[in-house]
Structure 1
Amino acid sequence: MAAKSPRRKPALTTTFEDSGMSNSRKLNSSISDGSESQRSRTPNCSCQLENTYRLQPEGQGRFQRETVRTLMLQTLEGKLKDVEYDSSTCGDLSTTLTNEIMFQIKQCHWERYKLVVQLFVGQDEKQGIQVASRCVWNADVDTSACVTYKNSSLFAVASCYAVYFE
Structure 2
Amino acid sequence: MSEVTKDKTSQLLKKRGSISSVSSPDIKMKEIYGRTKDSVSTVSYADEPSHREDAPRPAVQMENTYQLGPSKCFPVNVVNHILKDVLTNYLQEEKYEPELCRQMTKTIAEVVKARVKDLMIPRYKLVVIIYIGPLENQSLHIGSRCLWDEASDTFSSFVFRNTSLFALATVYAVYLE
* TM value normalised by structure 2: 0.65
SS of corresponding position for 2:121 = coil
Gaps of 5+ in 2: 1-55
Aligned partner of 2:99 among 88, 99, 103: 88
SS of corresponding position for 2:94 = coil
Work out whether 1:98 is the aligned partner of 2:112.
Answer: no
Aligned partner of 1:53 among 51, 66, 72: 66
Partner of 2:163: 152
**Higher strand residue share:** 1
Partner of 1:5: none
- Count residues in correspondence: 122
Aligned partner of 2:58 among 44, 61, 68: 44
Q: What is the correspondence of 1:103-114 to structure 2 with a 5 Å cutoff?
A: 103-114=114-125
- List 4+ stretches of structure 1 deviating above 6 A: none
Shift of 1:64: 1.4
Compare CA radii of gyration and give the structure with the larger one.
2
Counterparts of 1:108 and 1:56 in 2: how far apart (Å)? 19
Shift of 1:80: 0.5
Instruction: Give CA deviations for 1:55-82 in whole Å, capped at 9, x if unaligned.
Output: 1111xx2101111111101110111000
Percent of aligned pairs with the same residue? 34
Aligned CA-pair RMSD = 1.5
Structure-2 change in CA distance of 1:48 and 1:122 (3 Å): closer
| Greater RCO, CA 8 A, separation 6+ | 1
Counterparts of 1:93 and 1:111 in 2: how far apart (Å)? 28
SS of corresponding position for 2:63 = coil
